[in-house]
């Protein structure tokens, strides 16, 4: 067990008083189901007392008062429709030519929307992420790439992930029934209460070109997915290939790859990161009570 010597005494912790009802994330799918509410709330806070950068005349906008552009952002020849929800474009981000955005939408600092991307709300793209193709009601965390064509819907993608060109996910079952997903605490599939539910992918995971994800697929961290056919609906952490019972991505090779990938963005893989990932690797090797 990790030592608790770093924990501050309770009387040394700053207290922040909040008036209102908190938004609680109880399940992974809450990240995208509650994203509409979160974007609208954050938008009001981010623009309060501030003025948006001017929007270039090459763009077509709807309800421009609900579009906020941070300094350094580049947007040309795009369509921004905020009539369905606010649109926020972060500092030094880029929206390339031909992009079509329907709010609510947020693009983080230095994030990039590739040419011709089609984005439906409520979608959030994290800082440094590069996204193309079609995306609907999804959250893509920082420095992940879905740079090419392919559909991503009702999904959550962690940090430092990469979706190969023309990869797609299903977000609706053929019989329109409730989606069930893998649940780590119970070690079984559980009901989500949702008809639309797509892909959940942990940090540093990647898939090859033309990967096809079934409805409600759960992928752990550092999974490398490739091979013919649909991957399993549950792909464990450090998987090497598409099968649940396949080889493992060895931890030394995984950390070496992470350092290479992160160094391209001038970000260092810290010792704390290595310790966390190594712990997850050991849990995957020995998923027993002793862990």
Is there a domain that residue 258 lies in? no
Is there a domain that residue 164 lies in? yes
Is there a domain that residue 83 lies in? yes
**How much is the pLDDT for 174?**
95
**How do residues 73-125 score in pLDDT, each as one tens digit?**
999 999 999 999 999 999 999 999 999 999 999 999 999 999 999 999 899 99
The predicted model gives 218-228 an average pLDDT of 94
The b/e string for 133-161 (b: 16+ C-beta within 10 A; e otherwise) is bbbbbbbbbbbbbbbbbbbbbbbbbbbbb
Q: Are 97 and 115 in contact (CB under 8 A)?
A: yes
Q: Which band of pLDDT confidence, cut at 50, 70 and 90, is reported for residue 288?
A: very low
- pTM of the predicted model as reported, rounded to 2 decimal places: 0.91
The predicted model gives 167-180 an average pLDDT of 97
What is the spatial distance between Cα 133 and Cα 169, in angstroms, rounded to a whole number?
12
Q: What is the DSSP string of 44-73?
A: HHHHTT--PPPPPTTSEEESGGGEEE-TT-
Residue with the bigger pLDDT between 73 and 244: it is 73
Is there a domain that residue 30 lies in? yes
Task: Please state whether beta strands 134-136 and 118-120 pair in parallel, antiparallel, or not at all (unpaired).
Answer: parallel
Is there a domain that residue 133 lies in? yes
Q: What is the DSSP string of 164-227?
A: PTT-EE--B-TT-PPPEEEETTTTEEEE-S-SB--EEE-TT-EE-TT-EEPTTEEE-TT-EE-S
Is there a domain that residue 222 lies in? yes
Expressed as residue numbers, the domain containing 115 is 25-250
Is there a domain that residue 86 lies in? yes
Q: What is the CATH number of the domain that holds 99?
A: 2.160.10.10
What is the spatial distance between Cα 215 and Cα 140, in angstroms, rounded to a whole number?
17
The predicted model gives 218-227 an average pLDDT of 95
Q: What's the Cα-to-Cα distance from 285 to each of 59, 189, 220, 280, rounded to whole Å?
A: 52, 21, 14, 9
Residues in the chain: 291
Is there a domain that residue 1 lies in? no
Total domains, the chain: 1
């Amino acid at each position: 067990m990790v030592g608790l010597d770093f924990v501050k005494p309770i009387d040394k912790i700053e207290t922040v008083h909040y008036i209102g009802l908190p938004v609680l994330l109880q399940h992974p799918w809450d990240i995208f189901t509650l994203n509409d509410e979160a974007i609208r709330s954050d938008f009001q806070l981010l623009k309060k007392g501030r003025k948006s950068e001017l929007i270039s005349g090459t763009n077509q906008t709807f309800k421009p008062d609900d579009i906020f552009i941070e300094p350094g952002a580049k947007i040309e020849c795009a369509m921004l429709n905020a009539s369905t929800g606010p649109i926020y474009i972060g500092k030094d981000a880029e929206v390339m030519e031909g992009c079509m955005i329907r709010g609510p939408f947020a693009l983080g600092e230095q994030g990039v929307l590739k040419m011709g991307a089609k984005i439906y709300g409520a979608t959030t793209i994290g800082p440094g992420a590069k996204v193309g193709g079609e995306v609907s009601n999804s959250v893509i965390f920082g420095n992940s790439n879905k740079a090419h064509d392919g559909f991503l819907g009702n999904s959550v993608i962690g940090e430092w992930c990469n979706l190969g060109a023309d990869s797609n996910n299903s977000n609706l079952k053929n019989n329109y029934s409730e989606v069930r997903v893998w649940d780590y605490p119970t070690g079984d599939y559980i009901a989500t209460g949702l008809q639309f539910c797509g892909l959940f992918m942990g940090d540093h995971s990647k898939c090859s070109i033309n990967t096809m994800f079934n409805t409600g697929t759960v992928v752990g961290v550092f999974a490398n997915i490739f091979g013919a056919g649909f991957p399993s609906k549950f792909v464990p952490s450090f998987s090497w290939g598409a099968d649940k019972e396949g080889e493992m991505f060895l931890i030394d090779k995984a950390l070496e790859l992470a350092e290479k990938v992160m160094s391209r963005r001038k970000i260092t893989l810290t010792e704390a990161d290595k310790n966390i990932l190594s712990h997850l690797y050991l849990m995957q090797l020995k998923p027993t009570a002793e862990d």
